[in-house]
Amino acid sequence: PPLLALRPLMKFGKHCEEACSDLAGVTKMPAFPYKDLKKQLKHVEESTDPREEFFSFLINKVRNVDEAWKKAAHTALKAERSPYAAMLLATAGLGNPPDAKLSQSLDEWASVARTGLRKIKKKYNKKLGNIYGLAEENLGFEDSYAFVRSRERTEIETVARGYTKGRESAGDTSEQREEATWRFECPVCLDELHDPVAPACGHPMCRRCHAGMMSSRAVRRIRVAGGHLLLTPKNQSALNC
């Protein structure tokens, strides 16, 4: 079962560090920067522009680990698709041999990271949301990470789920199967799916979150002939995911 299910109750910051540390032997991933984000949120409360300072920090920090996760996911998926070629490259010293644990560990890391991101957003909303707007509104299209909503996440989850089913067919008990039950999350609010809809991108999300995305389309000003300004969608393709 996932590491999340094995850990006793503890503060999430400590849990996040320990879980990521345990997974690092396989994933080679840094820990999700939950404690850094929490400290920064406390620090910016007395800043002249807490919104700009906090979200610039968050975007840079999370983007760094997201890029590392995406790169590791590509490696894992490539090995899954071409195990023989991956083994030959490993034999020649040009890569690592296919490892069934890598996809599972990356999936677990992503689950910890999504929980951390959700908790940080909630803390921001509680402290500063009434003054500066909710985290989801401030981040807009910047709030799109591979470990949250992407083709890589979907494929890594599928591979990890396949290994789980393999263990079940090998004779796992019903209690173990229950521990392996998947918790489907909305890629917008990062909470458990509620009244889900399936947009064109293929990622199920809460009906309320999808409606909010469509009604709060970001716009940008474009200068046109005659000096007039025209409002247009900032990124039409992003609205589909």
> What fold characterizes domain 184-241?
Herpes Virus-1 (3.30.40)
Residue 73 neighbours by CB distance under 10 Å: 26
Higher pLDDT, 61 or 178: 61
CA 26/CA 12 separation, integer angstroms: 22
Residues 100-139 pLDDT 10s: 688 899 999 999 999 999 999 999 999 999 999 999 888 8
Two structure tokens written together for 217: 């389309």
Could you tell me the residue ranges of all domains in the chain? 3-182, 184-241
CB 44 within 8 A of CB 16: no
Print burial letters for 23-51: b (CB count within 10 Å at least 16), e (below 16): beebbebebbbbbebbebbeebeeeeebb
Residues 42-90 pLDDT 10s: 999 888 999 999 999 999 999 999 999 999 999 888 877 654 444 454 4
CB 149 within 8 A of CB 184: no
Residues 133-177 pLDDT 10s: 999 888 877 778 999 989 899 889 888 887 655 454 445 444 444
Residue 192 neighbours by CB distance under 10 Å: 11
Q: Which of 153, 124, 127 is CA-nearest to residue 136?
A: 124
At 130, the amino acid letter reads N
Residue 205's pLDDT band, with cuts at 50, 70 and 90, is confident
